Structure 1
Amino acid sequence: MTLKELWVLYEADKRILGFSMHTMKAYFLQLNMLIRELGNLEIEEISLNMLKDYFARVSERLKPSSLGHRIRFVHSLFRFAFEEGHMTRNPSLKLREPKMDKCIPKFLVEEDVIHLKITCHSHREHALLEFLYCTGCRVGEVQKINIEDVNWENCSAIREKDNEDFINYVSSMNDQQKLWLADGLRIMKPDSAWLEKLVV
């Protein structure tokens, strides 16, 4: 069985487990880079030393976090192959991830948010900014949220990530911010039945 043939089985297994399309796309990219370096080898031919040589070469141009992502994928792929009986040994078993630098996450202070608010040209922009700031959601997560996902009564919004629901509370919004959000939502999706229940 070659790496490409293993991928077909691996992808089907992960889709059954509910992995997101974005995760699978990232894994497929990792597989293609592995094949580009090693070739579409028979999986039994792949050894720990081959994998170490591959990671040593790519480590010169990758950040530790990117290298760690590649190593985690290779671990997952070969663990699957071993556990499903496609390999007699797991060549990735002794691979170690690089040490990560601990960095303080970047965040906006209130003054930065005020400057951003000044640059808003519409209620929609104000609503998006307030929602991002109050919930801590990422832009891609906000893009996927439907108006029906926002519960105004308990000031929460449900966002979906890898089929798990997370609740972000927007209770810290003051009345002015709630007005911006309500007006912005009306402009974005004016026909929503949910907005009729919204009392600000």
Structure 2
Amino acid sequence: MRYANAVASFTSYLEQVRRLSAATVRAYRSDLADLGSVIGDADLREIDLETLREWLWRATLRGDARSTMARRAAAARSFFGWAHESELIPVDPSLRLVTPKRAKTLPVVASKDAMRELLDQYRAAAAGGDATALRDHAVLEALYGTGVRVSELCGIDIDDVDMHRRTVRVLGKGSKERVVPFGAPAADAIGAYVTRGRPALLARVDRATPALFLGARGARIGSRTVYALVARVLSPIVGAEHIGPHALRHSAATHLLDGGADLRAVQEILGHASLGTTQIYTHVSTERLLDGYRLAHPRA
């Protein structure tokens, strides 16, 4: 089978059998397209380990980040593992493909005081009753108050929110559903938005939508709008140019652990499949503890 046909079959398998999200399938398709730009539409059986190593070497020369190369190597291993199991190739050439180690970087986290000041500022802006201001305040409170991913936030419907119990039902990675709690500030912001802001935005379209958060044209809010909002308000606080909604997720997780939350509870809230993924936030908390010690202790 030719490479392009095999990739098409593989992505169909990811969508229909493994039922991965559209964003994940796009990432696989993009990484395998990068490999295709090097090997062309070769016969799948002609691709060997040296071909894959050459592909990663070219990425190194191009200056690709180690995290990008690690992701692409993982995509290649998944693809060729599937091809071998499907008996399209006699041997999996990716078995001995070494994954470049990711650089160990800690997540960017805003301080509790900075988050309090930011959210107080947006609450004051929302008090004027402007629909967009009400929505932006609710979005920021929801992201920080629940730690959900931006895709999960954009997918929330009105009926997913239980204001009495202060919980929201979200659809996470791998179409896994979970219920996440939120606090009184988020409840107040969401309540004000639903009562005064959402109807004004909804009036801008002819048809109704079940979406909780709406864009400027009255349809379900897009991830780009949320990214732009968070980048605008959070970049000055954390001192980083390229910042996104995940920074609020990182901040929520770190502040939960700083406050004494159980690691497994945080894992459930974030929707991590592995506890190891959640443990990165314990390192963030430790670093903050060490920073405080170095600044304050006379023998530090």
TM-score range for the pair, normalised by the shorter chain length: 0.7 to 0.9
Alpha-carbon offset, residue 125 of structure 1: 2.4
Gaps of 5+ in 1: 196-200
Shift of 1:21: 1.3
Q: Which runs of 5+ in 2 are unaligned?
A: 127-133, 200-207, 213-300
Check 1:138–1:19 CA distance in 2 against 1; reply closer, same or farther (3 A cut).
closer
Is 1:8 the counterpart of 2:8 in the alignment? yes
Letter in 1 for 2:189: W
Report whether the alignment pairs 1:67 with 2:76: no
Kindly tell me: are residues 40 and 151 of structure 1, through their superposed partners in 2, closer, same or farther at Cα, counting changes over 3 Å? Answer: same
1:167-192 CA deviation, whole Å, 9 max, x = no partner? 3221xx23x55322211122354499
> How far off its partner does 1:38 sit?
1.4
TM superposition shift of 1:43: 0.7
Please state how far the C-alpha of 1:47 moved relative to its aligned partner. 0.7
Q: How far, CA to CA, are the matches of 1:146 and 1:66 in structure 2?
A: 33
Amino acid at match of 1:140: S
Deviation of residue 41 (structure 1)?
0.6
**TM-superposition CA deviations, 1:16-73 (whole Å, max 9, x none):** 2211111111111112211111111101111101111111110231111111110011
Query: SS where residue 64 of structure 2 aligns?
Result: coil
1:55 is matched with 56
Structure 2 length-normalised TM:
0.59
- 1:158 pairs with 2:160: no
- Cα RMSD (Å): 2.2
Matching residue of 1:132: 143
1:179 aligns with 2:188: yes
Between the aligned partners of 1:25 and 1:8, the Cα distance in structure 2 is 12
Using the aligned pairs only, state the percent identity: 24
Q: Deviation of residue 145 (structure 1)?
A: 0.8
Q: Distance in 1 between matches of 2:115 and 2:68?
A: 31
Q: Residues of 2 paired with 1:188 and 1:85: CA distance?
A: 56
1:163 offset after TM fit, Å?
0.5
Which residue is equivalent to 1:198?
Answer: none
Structure 2 contact 169–177 (Cα < 8 Å) conserved? yes
Structure 1 segments (4+ residues) deviating >3 Å: 187-193
Three-state SS of the structure 2 residue aligned to 1:153 is coil
Bigger shift: residues 78-87 or 122-131: 122-131
Tell me which amino acid in the other structure corresponds to 2:65.
K
Q: Which residue of 2 aligns with 1:76?
A: 78
Residue 88 of structure 2 is matched in structure 1 by: 86
Compute the displacement of 1:115 (Å): 3.0
Post-superposition CA distance 1:74-131 (Å, at most 9, x none): 0011111100011010011111211222222222222222332254232322222211
Q: Deviations over 1:136-156 (max 9, x none)?
A: 123332111112111223322
More helix per residue: 1 or 2?
Answer: 2
Is this contact kept in 1: 2:168–2:179, CA < 8 A? yes
